[in-house]
Amino acid sequence: MEVNEKKISWVRYLLIFFLTLVIFGSGFYLSNTIVEKKITAISKLQQGLSIDILSIETQFSILTQVPCKNLNESTLAKELYDIALKLSSVGSSLGENNPDYLILKKYYSILEIKHWLLLKKAAKECQMDLVSVAYFYGDKKSCQNCEDQGYILTALREKYPFLRVYSFDYLLPLVPLETIKSIYNLKNNLPVLVINDDVYYGLKSQEELETIFKTYIKLNKLEPTETSTPTTSSTSTKKN
């Protein structure tokens, strides 16, 4: 009886061992498959983003050559925003400090700067009714209010067709950004908003920003997207 019981025990142990191997192997295979699919998806997203960025850069070259009457930068602004969403997805997948992500982020920031400069030139030379906001942000450790400021600006961008918002990581090591910070003498007191050529520090509510916009846009033109046809005026006073 003891011999039979021992045999049964060994058989039981072997079955448990093989069953464990099967479960572990299946889990490993499934996990590996998921990781491979994720890597493939990220790779495709990166490739698509690179093509989008190249397309945008080409459009910049075209737009700088056209007369004011044919200049329609709003389409380009929307494409920039769409790329920003894709870039955010890549950052979430790869990690904010991933070298590949940082390269794309720097390239995108350069495109934003180019569009910002194009917008300022168009607003002046073509008398376009636009207000630009260059928004400098930081991570949660360096700026507790930046995430809220981003949501507020997104809501306003969707509400008002005259508004163009450009978001820049204040600590991103990029020479053009350093130049802008130097020109406007920006302090590391985030969030920072450069509205047209005026500088504002600290979190601004939607109501506060709308009040600020009214210094650039006539009050009767400050309307939601469906009916807005704004006009501009300019000021050059820095706010703290």
Residue where the block lists tokens 């989008």: 52
Q: For residue range 43-70, list pLDDT tens digits in order.
A: 666 666 667 666 766 766 666 666 565 5
Q: Which long-range contacts (CB under 8 A, 24 or more apart) does 44-50 make?
A: 45/86, 45/89, 45/90, 45/93, 46/90, 46/100, 46/104, 48/86, 49/83, 49/86, 49/87, 49/90, 49/104, 50/104
pLDDT over 90 (residue 117): no
Percent of the chain with pLDDT over 70: 57
Give the residue ranges of DSSP H helices in 64-145. 73-94, 99-125
Over residues 144-157, mean pLDDT: 94
**Highest mean pLDDT: which range of 55-64, 82-91, 100-109, 171-180:** 171-180
Asked whether the predicted pLDDT for residue 198 surpasses 60, the reply is yes
Sign of torsion over alpha carbons 54, 60, 66, 68: positive
Asked which of 12-16, 86-90, 188-192, 215-219 is least confident by mean pLDDT, the reply is 12-16
Residue 89: per-residue pLDDT: 72
Q: In this predicted model, what pLDDT tens digit does every residue of 9-38 receive, in sequence order?
A: 666 666 666 666 666 555 555 555 554 555
Show the domains of the chain with their CATH numbers.
Answer: 1-128 (1.20.58), 129-240 (3.40.30.10)
Helices 73-94 and 99-125 sit at what angle, rounded to 10 degrees? Answer: 160
